[in-house]
Amino acid sequence: MRRKVIKQGHNTLTITLPSKWAIENNISAGDELSIEESHRSLKISTDNDLKRDHIEIDVSGLDVATIRQKLRSVYKLGYEEIRIIFQNNLVKELRTENDRPIMELINHEVSNLIGCEVIKQTDKSCVIKDYAVDSELEFKNTLRRVFLLLQDYGGSLIDQIKANDRSSLQGMRDRHFNIAKFIFYCQRLINKEGVVDRNKMTFLYYVVSELDEILDIMKYAAHDYITFPQKKVHKETILLLEKIIDHNTMYMEFFYKPTPQSMLRMADERWIIRKHISKLIGKIPANELALLKDISFILELYYHMVEPRLSIGENGLHP
């Protein structure tokens, strides 16, 4: 894109802004823009919020899981108001092959979307509105809460496996949803313009998304253990599970204070654990080995979360 330089007055040179960019960024006459000089270049930017006011989604003909994904995706994008259109009042759940009232599904999902309420409903549509007050401090506090909840969730998983407490392990699915809603809220706040530094958005979103994956891995580990025929697992299995889950704490400490020592500690532990798991082949039941291999993927996720944390920089992460 090229622009002609226009002379105004004695010493003033001006250029016009692209109209499409001005509209997308809510630029009006009289607004102030930031200009950064860099040798032969000028960078023009605005602090205006790119507000995503409202969106309409049609979920007609979709199944339960797909509707859930569509609703969560627009929530995470930061829309203030979401209108959902549907042709049928029943929706198919593919897992059970049963029909479910669509508004029951929507109301349940909205209860997990922090700040949102269903404010209007008809036979063929409903409207969801966000009432939350978004801020950088709110994001920082919520992210720290997610880290702490993950530590607590992992600790409970280990304690319940040690005690062979299968009834409590069955409740881990509900606890998962209570943590996931804060992860969704973090993702939403990252996408809300003006809440998080633009230069950090991509890296923070990656980290938070991987925390969601780690939460899922622990949830599935609880589900898998319930199917075990044996009443207790081997001591070596418990020891390695504890070392793996301890990475929830190790990464949080690294995230808020990224030192070379903390990086090295995580790297060393990752290899030590992987080698120990390999040595247990043929020595513990196959289901225990499978459990260890599945949950040890947490180590790989945290390993890949180191670089984006370093890219975020040193400042602005403490609440």
Which CATH number characterizes residue 96's domain?
Answer: 3.30.110
Rounded to the nearest integer, the mean pLDDT of the chain is: 91
The Cα–Cα gap between 70 and 173 comes to 21
pLDDT tier at 27 (50, 70, 90 boundaries)? confident
Q: For 122-133, how does the pLDDT look when each residue is reduced to its tens digit (9 = 90+)?
A: 999 999 999 988
Check whether 264 has a pLDDT greater than 90.
yes
Q: Specify whether 211 is located in the same domain as 280.
A: yes
Please report whether residue 221 resides in a domain.
yes
- Work out the average pLDDT over 289-309: 96
Q: What is the pLDDT of residue 169?
A: 95
Q: Specify whether 87 is located in the same domain as 149.
A: no
Q: What is the pLDDT of residue 19?
A: 84
Q: Specify whether 26 is located in the same domain as 59.
A: no
Q: Which of 64, 97, 130 is the last residue of a domain?
A: 130
The Cα–Cα gap between 231 and 234 comes to 10
Least confident of 49-53, 55-59, 88-92, 200-204: 49-53
Please report whether residue 207 resides in a domain.
yes
- Work out the average pLDDT over 175-195: 92
Residues of the chain above pLDDT 90, percent: 74
pLDDT tier at 317 (50, 70, 90 boundaries)? low
Q: How many domains does the chain have?
A: 3
Residues of the chain above pLDDT 70, percent: 96
Residue 70 near residue 62 (C-beta atoms within 8 A)? yes
Q: What is the pLDDT of residue 14?
A: 87
Strands in the chain per DSSP E: 6-8, 12-14, 34-38, 41-45, 54-58, 81-85, 90-93, 98-101, 116-121, 125-130
**What is the residue type of 272?**
I
Q: Specify whether 222 is located in the same domain as 255.
A: yes
DSSP letter string over 17-75? PPHHHHHHTT--TT---EEEEETTEEEEE--------EEEEE-TT--HHHHHHHHHHHH
Please report whether residue 1 resides in a domain.
no
C-alpha of 243 from chain center:
24
Check whether 100 has a pLDDT greater than 90.
yes
The Cα–Cα gap between 50 and 33 comes to 15
The Cα–Cα gap between 54 and 52 comes to 6
Residue 250 near residue 270 (C-beta atoms within 8 A)? no
Q: What is the pLDDT of residue 315?
A: 60
Residue 273 near residue 242 (C-beta atoms within 8 A)? no
- Residue 230, classified by CB atoms within 10 Å of its CB into exposed (0-12), middle (13-18) or buried (19+), is exposed
Q: Specify whether 264 is located in the same domain as 202.
A: yes
The two structure tokens encoding residue 263:
């990086």
CB neighbours (10 Å) of residue 250? 15
C-alpha of 14 from chain center:
43
**What is the residue type of 243?**
K
Q: Specify whether 163 is located in the same domain as 204.
A: yes
Q: What is the pLDDT of residue 9?
A: 75
Q: For 40-67, how does the pLDDT look when each residue is reduced to its tens digit (9 = 90+)?
A: 788 787 765 555 688 999 999 999 999 9
Residue 222 near residue 160 (C-beta atoms within 8 A)? yes
- Work out the average pLDDT over 187-207: 91
Q: Specify whether 173 is located in the same domain as 288.
A: yes
pLDDT, greater one: 3 or 145: 145
Q: For 212-251, how does the pLDDT look when each residue is reduced to its tens digit (9 = 90+)?
A: 999 999 999 999 999 999 888 999 999 999 999 999 999 9
Q: What is the pLDDT of residue 202?
A: 94
Q: For 301-313, how does the pLDDT look when each residue is reduced to its tens digit (9 = 90+)?
A: 999 999 999 999 8
- Work out the average pLDDT over 287-301: 97
Q: Domain limits at 168?
A: 136-312
Residue 132 near residue 75 (C-beta atoms within 8 A)? no
Please report whether residue 317 resides in a domain.
no
Residue 138 near residue 94 (C-beta atoms within 8 A)? no
Residue-wise burial string across 273-294, b where 16 or more C-beta atoms lie within 10 A, e elsewhere: beeebeebeeebeebbbebbee
Q: Specify whether 73 is located in the same domain as 210.
A: no
Q: Specify whether 92 is located in the same domain as 169.
A: no
Q: Specify whether 63 is located in the same domain as 181.
A: no
